[in-house]
Structure 1
Amino acid sequence: MCRGSSTSVPGSCGGLGPEASPWRAGSWWWRTTRASPDPWSRGFRTRASRSRTRPTATRRWRPSGGGGWDLIVLDWWLPGRDGLEVLGEYRRSGGNTPVLFLTARDAVGDRVRGLDGGADDYLCKPFAFEEMLARARALVRRGRPVEVTTLSYRDVRVEVMEQKAERAGRPLDLTAKELALLVFFLRHPGEVLSRSRIYGHVWGEDYDFISNTLDVHIKELRRALESSGPRLIQTVRGRGYLLGAPPAAAEDGP
């Protein structure tokens, strides 16, 4: 998967997402995820200069961070793996992110195989880079749900567009990451969220199971919320965190 440096490695990957993004297109922030050995990926990276790559992506490839990707751009030809095989594996595992399939195979039979194999669109090489971007934007628009501008749970309320949060009518003074954490919890009330899923969504990186960054931010978010009411974010032993009533396995946590 790809996030966060300008390193270019063959067989890298990347997805397009509206939050926490290195690439801004129009009024949307994009997260890139791409799997292709082609040199044209340099053009992609000029629009996502902070994209980081991992050469192991094609051995056991899957979108990381527990979801949150808006688009996957996937090449048929990959070092060590067949892109169609990768796509089928992803769909069978329950992945539903739109996939733009790229390939030099332009025969009608190959196009049918790609689309029937799980691709949402199929683009043959050579192609105009701007056309690829236009197709990507169209797929993202098609798959994006209606944007919710206000999120709430009990007496907690967030105006997403205004980036304002309050509890019991009192404004909450939150950092950008604390607000992003709160928004993520508000989108999944009553659901146990693993550390890796939270970290992948809010920080755009895989959780390394060493850093205490998440614990620190959870502690500060709790401090802000609990200044105006009882605890809402619960620690669930061995599983993660939950916004809602504490389950039997919950503990106080930091």
Structure 2
Amino acid sequence: MKDWFPFTSYDFYAYLTAGMITLAAVDRVFLGSMLASQANWTFVNGAFWTAVAYLVGQILAIPSSVFLEHLLGRRWLRAPSHVLLGLDPPRLRETCVRWAFGAREYEPLPVATRNSVLRKVAAALSVPETDMDGEAAFHCAFPHARNVADSATRLDNFLNQYGMCRNVSFASAVAAGLMIWRASQTCDRLDWFLAIAAVVLSVGLFGRFVKFYAAYSREVFRTYDKVVSAPIIPPPTPGIP
């Protein structure tokens, strides 16, 4: 972001956008589109409602993380680190999500790459490869990836993308619930159209969240394999004749 812009990239993408979508739905359902029909916005009014949207987005980030990232993204679906390293083979649901949303990043790494990563991480953590945990492997590899400038830039971009997609997906789900309730009361075609649009936005951005969430872990492991040398395995001790 520019120096004069009051928000960081993550603030804008992950919080402000989600808050604005939720405020738009609340405005339509409870305020009779008072904000949307406002013709003469002053700087003070604009700054106030922008601040409100930002705060709403901050609050929405809490249930968004709980439900979309930890329950759906890490419980209902397998965590990306486990899938990428082949520790847990993709089930039908992971395969369907990958194909439905074009999430090529949410598939196991090439065999040679994941074997190399597992071997290096196991040596670093002093644990057998067969006992490796995906999250432990990720936390071991992460500092090495952040120390590479090019990789750190990509990781920041992926973070902004998956944070925005996750939060806006959840905000859109909230907006969809509000609009479906209003449409069922008014039977207005516009309300039904807005409700359907919110559902499509929520589902679509959840798929994008999975894609960039997996891309984040994929970049960590890819960089780790590139910058960390393979462990030196000592030759076997010759037997005593």
- Tell me which interval the TM-score lies in, with the shorter structure as reference length: under 0.3
Structure with greater strand share of residues: 1
Larger relative contact order (CA 8 Å, sep ≥ 6): 2
Structure with greater helix share of residues: 2
TM (norm. structure 2) is 0.27
